[in-house]
Amino acid sequence: MALGSDSGRGMWSNRWVFVLAAAGSAVGLGNIWKFPYIAGENGGGAFVLIYLVCVGLVGIPIMISEVMLGRTARSSPIHAMRKLTDLAGASRKWVFIGWMGVVAGFMILSYYAVIAGWALNYILLTAQGTFTEISADGAALTYNEFLASPLQLIFWHTLFMVLTIWIVGRGVSQGLEFAIRWFMPLLFILLLVLLGYSFTSAGFAQGLEFMFDTRFEAVSGETWLVAMGQAFFTLSLGMGAMMAYGSYVPENVSIGKTVMIIALLDTFVAVAAGMVIFPIVFANGLEAGQGPGLMFVTIPLAFGQLPMGEIFGTIFFVLVSFAAFTSAISLTEPALSYLVEEYNAKRKRVAISLGVMCWILGLGTVFSFNIWSTGYIIGQMTVFDFVDYVSQNIMLPLGGMLIAVFSVWVLPQTTVGEQLGIRGGFLGVLWKLLGGLVAPVCVLVIFVYTVMPLFTNAG
């Protein structure tokens, strides 16, 4: 039984809208460039198998926990944790989970909107034929000149932020659900179109070999750590997004089955993106560089050398922008829903205020690539590096770990039984083993692995 009322909050109209919304949150820029690259570099098919195991051990249990907490409380992450601690008779210190998720999501959105703005700009550049038969030096120069211009970055950052806030300000049914119903199907259609185009390229076999040739000799302990980290971060866990989205899930929806579908969709997009990107890259004899260089230098260069590359390159960046929008919407929701509940304020006004604050914080990221590029906060970290590191490597893992522990060991088992249909027996033991032990321990290992270099370098 939910603790909060459904009236006035809005609800997903059905299970599949929630699936698309949560998958949209999970599918982001990282799926399109990061997963394919790390798979190819860490054993190909062997890494994909390890990643799927890690999704089952880490990603799915924590996502189930987060969605369950949201649906039980029918509130924003902060208010949800207040209600749930009262229900469990637990310390109010657990509310820290909600605060950390909301702040982390806000911080991530501030720089995510900047980088997503780059994708919007590249739609225009590609459609104009900027990269048609361009040289490698020319593609790199276009990218570097763009980053060196604060005014250009601010314009595209502003445009992306305005569109995101306009969507979320319209509410659950008219804003979130309306956007998801259009963006996600179009994203899948565009992905399949690009996949068909990639299939005709000369590098398709080489791209498949890079990603799927099973090389267990390339697997090490670090491979497992990388796979666990990717399984956790790719599903948008620990930032309150799934808790906020979970609060809109109807009571008759099976959380466990739905979360598994979401995880499979997220993995499908990541794998399909690799099958799009690398054949096209290899067909042109280019290096599969990691990070923004792959997205904004190598890929435009590759499309520029191919027949009809101008058209399909534009489609690619539309796809990237759709993925960015669906993720940005979910990043906005935890903070927005909290402020609406806390102050009983109009959603549109809160959305605008939140958007302005996030836009201002995002200027730090904008300037990190030009006028503040040598202005380090800690060590060699720019504003962008610092915000990214603290939110992604510290706040999200801690949030995910605490969510799992709270859901299994603190929340009353009667509540878990009502929400998940677990009444003891084998499923009860499995839930406690995976959700209460394996998942939080794995996330703790990820946390230590990611923060250790910071202290090592400092020493």
**Taking a C-beta distance cutoff of 8 angstroms, is the pair 443, 401 a contact?**
yes
pTM for the complete prediction?
0.90
How remote is the C-alpha of 257 from its chain's centroid?
A: 20
pLDDT at residue 289 is higher than 80: no
Q: State the DSSP string of 323-342.
A: HHHHHHHHHHHHHHHHHHHH
Question: What distance in Å separates the CA atoms of residue 114 and residue 29, rounded to the nearest whole number?
Answer: 12
pLDDT of residue 153: 97
Per-residue pLDDT tens digits for 105-132? 999 999 999 999 999 999 999 999 999 9
pLDDT tens, 409-432? Answer: 999 989 999 999 887 788 889 999
283/228 Cα distance (integer angstroms): 31
Structural fold of domain 15-458: Amino acid/polyamine transporter I (1.20.1740)
- Of the candidates 238, 253, 266, the one whose C-alpha atom is nearest the C-alpha of residue 65 is 238
| Contact call for residues 305 and 284 (beta carbons, < 8 A) | yes
Residue 261 reports pLDDT greater than 50? yes
Q: What is the band of 8 on the pLDDT scale with cuts at 50, 70, 90?
A: low
> What number is the average pLDDT over the span 330-337?
92
Find the length of the chain.
459
Is the pLDDT confidence value at 459 over 60? no
Neighbours of 164 (CB within 10 A): 25
340 has a pLDDT exceeding 80: yes
Closest to 179 in 3D by CA, of 194, 165, 158, 159: 165
- Cα Rg of the chain (Å, integer): 21
State how far the Cα of 388 lies from the Cα of 116, in Å rounded to an integer. Answer: 15
Confidence of residue 364 (pLDDT cuts 50, 70, 90): very high
How many other C-beta atoms are found inside a 10 Å radius of the C-beta of residue 282? 22
Percentage of residues in the chain with pLDDT exceeding 90? 51
pLDDT at 376 (0 to 100): 82
DSSP character at residue 216: G
